[in-house]
C-alpha cells in the first residue's frame, strides 16, 4: 500500500485549529499534492466531529482526482461533543459502531472508500473477533482498502493480529519521544511488516524551553550548515533514518513549512550525527 513519505495531518485544519475556509482547504490540499504529499490523515472526532465534513466539502469542489490521494481516518473514540450524546469520553469497538463510523466518515469525506481505517486508541473491552468481523465487512464491500491501529502497544497489536491483519500503527514518535525504539513498538512492527506512522514528529523541541530542548537546539545548530537544512528538517530526517520506514504525520497548515518539511526526505543524516542528536536529547551517552 502506497502512502506519501510525509503525511498531511488534518486535525488542525478545522475547528480544533486554524478554521480554514473551503477555499483555503482546497488551496492547502493542492499545495500538499504539488509538494509530493498525497496522503491526508483524519479522524472522525477532529473538530468535534466536524472537520471531515469540511474537508470533504472542499475536496468535492477541488477537482483533485480521488486516485491521486490517499485518505486515512480513525474511529472508536466516543468524544464528548455537542454533536454526540456522550456523557463521558470512552471507546466503542462493537462491530456495528465500527461499520457505522467508517460509513459516516466516507459520507463526510465525499469518497467511496478509505485507503486506511485505524482504531484510534486501544480499549480494554475490545474483542478481536468482533473487530475482525467489522473489518471483513468493510473490505468485502470495498469501503476500506487497509486496516490498522493507532497508539497500540506491541501486546495489543499481537492480540488483534490473532483475528485480523494490521498494516499500520500510528504512534507518537519524535526525537523527544522516542521510547518506541526501546520498548518493542518498532521492533514488533518491523517483525510483522507493519508500517509505522508518527504523530507529533517534532516533539517538544519548539514547544518547551527545558535543559533537554536547549541541548537539542545547540546540537541542531552545529549541523545546520553541514546539511544546509533547518532545525525542523533535521528533526524529521532523524525520524526518517530509522529502518522501520516511519511516515511522519505533519500537522502544520503553513505552506512554507510544508515545503520545507518535504526537503527532509532528501537528507541522509550521517550515522554519528544521528547519534549526536539522540545523545543531546537523552543528556548522556548511549549505554
pLDDT in tens, 128-157: 999 999 999 999 999 999 999 999 999 999
Q: How far is CA 108 from the centre of its chain?
A: 19
Phi, psi of 157 (to 5 degrees): -60, -45
Tell me, yes or no, if 93 is annotated catalytic.
Answer: no
Q: Which domains, from first to last, does the chain contain?
A: 7-172 (3.20.20.100)
Q: What residues have CB less than 8 Å from 163, skipping those under 6 apart? A: 128, 129, 131, 132
b/e burial code for range 25-46 (CB count within 10 A of at least 16 → b): bbebbebbbebebbbbbbbbbb
Mean pLDDT over 58-68 rounds to 98
* Per-residue model confidence as pLDDT tens digits over 187-245: 999 999 999 999 999 999 999 999 999 999 999 999 999 999 999 999 999 999 999 99
pLDDT at 22 over 70: yes
Percent of the chain with pLDDT over 70: 100
* Per-residue model confidence as pLDDT tens digits over 235-277: 999 999 999 999 999 999 999 999 999 999 999 999 999 999 9
113 closest CA partner among 81, 151, 73: 73
Which pLDDT score is estimated for 2? 87
Which pLDDT score is estimated for 76? 96
Q: Are 4 and 37 in contact (CB under 8 A)?
A: yes
pLDDT at 36 over 80: yes
Q: Whole-prediction pTM value?
A: 0.96
**Which residue in the list 46, 49, 93, 227 is annotated as catalytic?**
46
Residue 136's Cβ-side half-sphere holds a number of Cα atoms within 13 Å equal to 9
Amino acid at each position: 500500500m502506497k502512502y506519501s513519505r510525509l503525511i498531511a495531518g488534518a486535525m488542525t485544519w478545522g475547528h480544533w485549529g486554524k478554521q480554514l475556509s473551503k477555499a483555503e482547504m482546497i488551496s492547502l490540499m493542492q499545495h500538499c499534492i504539488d509538494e509530493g504529499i498525497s496522503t491526508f490523515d483524519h479522524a472522525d472526532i477532529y473538530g468535534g466531529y466536524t472537520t471531515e465534513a469540511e474537508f470533504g466539502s472542499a475536496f468535492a469542489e477541488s477537482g483533485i482526482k480521488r486516485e491521486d490521494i490517499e485518505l486515512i481516518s480513525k474511529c472508536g473514540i466516543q468524544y464528548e461533543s455537542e454533536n454526540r450524546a456522550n456523557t463521558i469520553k470512552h471507546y466503542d469497538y462493537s462491530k456495528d459502531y465500527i461499520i457505522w463510523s467508517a460509513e459516516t466518515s466516507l459520507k463526510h469525506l465525499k469518497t467511496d472508500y478509505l485507503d486506511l481505517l485505524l482504531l484510534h486508541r486501544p480499549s480494554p473491552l475490545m474483542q478481536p473477533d468482533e473487530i475482525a468481523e467489522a473489518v471483513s465487512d468493510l473490505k468485502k464491500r470495498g469501503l476500506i482498502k487497509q486496516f490498522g491501529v493507532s497508539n497500540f502497544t506491541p501486546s495489543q497489536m499481537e492480540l488483534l493480529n490473532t483475528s485480523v491483519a494490521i498494516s499500520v500503527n500510528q504512534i507518537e514518535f519524535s526525537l523527544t519521544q522516542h521510547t518506541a525504539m526501546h520498548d518493542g513498538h518498532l521492533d514488533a512492527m518491523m517483525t510483522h511488516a507493519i508500517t509505522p506512522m508518527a504523530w507529533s514528529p517534532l516533539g517538544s523541541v519548539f514547544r518547551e524551553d527545558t535543559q533537554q530542548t536547549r541541548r537539542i537546539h545547540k546540537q541542531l545548530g552545529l549541523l545546520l550548515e553541514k546539511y544546509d537544512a533547518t532545525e525542523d528538517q533535521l528533526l524529521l530526517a532523524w525520524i526518517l533514518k530509522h529502518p522501520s520506514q516511519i511516515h511522519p504525520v505533519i500537522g502544520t497548515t503553513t505552506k512554507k513549512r510544508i515545503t520545507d518539511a518535504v526537503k527532509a526526505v532528501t537528507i541522509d543524516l550521517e550515522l554519528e550525527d544521528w547519534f549526536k542528536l539522540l545523545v543531546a536529547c537523552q543528556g548522556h551517552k548511549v549505554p
